[in-house]
Amino acid sequence: MNTYRRHRFPPDIISYAVWLYYRFNLSHRDIEDLLAECGIIVSLEAIRLWCIKFGALYARRLKRNHRGYGDTCYIDEVFVNIQGKQHYLWRAVDQDGELVDVFMQGRRDGAAA
C-alpha cells in the first residue's frame, strides 16, 4: 500500500519536508521558505498535515539512527539580558557539536550548572 497516494506532491518532497521538521526542529514556515527557494510552492498547512501524518515514522527512524552523545562535553556560558536583568545561559555540547543540555539561571553558579 502506498502511503503517499492521493497527495499532490511527490513522496520525495513530502519526505524531505518532514525530515527537515524533525531533524533540525524547524518551524513549518521555515520549511515553506526553504522549499520556496528551491522553486517548490507549498503551504505551511500542507507541511503541518504531512508532519502529523508521516511524522511518527520519521521520528522513530531518526531516534533509531541516533548514535548517542560523545565522550567529551564542552560547556558554554552566555550572558543574556531578559527584561533588564542579567541571566546566565549554560549549554553543554559534545565533541560532534550536538546539544546535550541547556540550563538558564539568574545567578552565576558554575557548580550548579
What's the grid cell of residue 26?
524547524
pLDDT of residue 48: 94
Distance (Å, rounded) from C-alpha 48 to C-alpha 69?
30
Work out the pLDDT band at 1, boundaries 50, 70, 90.
Answer: very low
pLDDT of residue 110: 60
Residue with cell 565533541: 95
Averaged pLDDT, 90-107: 79
Q: Which residues pair with 94 in a beta bridge?
A: 73
CB 113 within 8 A of CB 105: yes
Q: What is the mean pLDDT of the chain?
A: 82
Computed on alpha carbons and rounded to an integer, the radius of gyration of the chain in Å comes to 19
pTM as predicted: 0.55
How many C-beta neighbours within 10 Å does residue 46 have?
16
pLDDT tens per residue, range 33-65: 999 998 999 999 999 999 999 888 777 776 776
How many C-beta neighbours within 10 Å does residue 22 have?
19
What's the grid cell of residue 25?
526542529
